[in-house]
Amino acid sequence: MKNTAAPAYTRTTSVELAAALSVIGVQVKPDLSEDRVSGKRWESLLVSLDTLPDPQGEQLPSHQTKLVMSMVQTGQLQDADPHHPVLDALRACKAADTLIEWTRKAEPHRQMKVKGAQRWLLADGQLPPSMSSMPGLLGTRDIKLAASLLVLGFQLLRLEGSAPEVLFVFGQALFLPAESPQILRTAYRNGSLAAESPEHPLLWMMQALSNREAIRDMLRSRQPLILIRAPNTGRASLVSSNAKGKTMDRVKRHLQIP
């Protein structure tokens, strides 16, 4: 007999953590509270305590939300699984926020390796002129793609132009010189990356950044979110319940759903 009990939830105020959990199949709902005496209102997010069942019957991994949240906060997840999708999602969010700040304040940054992982984040500092002036292999104005590429270790050489039309210029990978950012971007955009490497970290990070946008929109609009999973992977997309046909079609194409 199938378990039809309603899912239980825990609470977080971090949109980034909620987005990171949602990408592995954890449902997210808004929770608006109000103090009846003072009239003070505050917002939090409810995240399901475990992966919700797949409507198609696919066996999905159990994530035990509270345990994952605790392991993130204590650093245990970094020690146990430094390339876990939740950690990559959080890194992508942090990288995107730092890039936005960089475009606003024009204060230079450089990439620093994450301890114990083949991942990078931005820190204050400037690249040597000999590096920052090198010819770029890839230029993109897509901040989600730029954040994901730099976390994966592609060298961010410089920012060209000014906000909101900043071009993020990348060189070769910091640890795999043969890796090409152009090939990876093309594979992502034409769907071949999802088809051939459905667990590629770029897919998890890009999805997490999109889910973060969906959660922010949900908090503004109060429209519930629908969780849609990519076949043969735990990766999940959050889509507004009032999304139109074209939006749903785009999401299905991105997730390789027939």
Q: Using alpha carbons only, give the angle 199, 251, 85 rounded to the nearest 5 degrees.
A: 30
Residue 162's domain comprises 98-188
Instruction: Calculate Rg over the CA atoms of the chain.
Output: 19
User: What pLDDT is attached to residue 1?
Assistant: 42
pTM recorded for the entire structure: 0.86
Check residue 177 and give its pLDDT. 64
pLDDT for 246 equals 58
Model pLDDT, residue 56: 53
Give the number of other Cβ atoms within 10 Å of residue 203's Cβ: 24
Identify whether 250 is part of a domain.
Answer: no
**What distance in Å separates the CA atoms of residue 169 and residue 36, rounded to the nearest whole number?**
52
Enumerate the β-bridge partners of residue 46: 11, 29
The answer as to whether 214 is a domain residue is no
Start-end of H helices in the chain: 15-22, 65-74, 76-80, 85-105, 129-132, 143-152, 181-190, 192-196, 201-221, 245-254
pLDDT of residue 113: 95
- Classify residue 154: in a domain, yes or no: yes
Q: How far apart are CA 14 and CA 32, in angstroms?
A: 14
Residue 255 and residue 128: Cα distance in Å, rounded? 40
Q: List, for the chain, all residue ranges whose pLDDT scores fall below the cut of 50.
A: 1-3
Is position 27 within any domain?
Answer: no
Is residue 161 in a domain? yes
Does residue 134 lie within any of the structural domains?
Answer: yes
How many independent structural domains does the chain possess? 1
Give a yes or no: residue 120 inside a domain.
Answer: yes
Instruction: Tell me if 35 is assigned to some domain.
Output: no
**Which pLDDT score, from 0 to 100, does residue 245 have?**
60
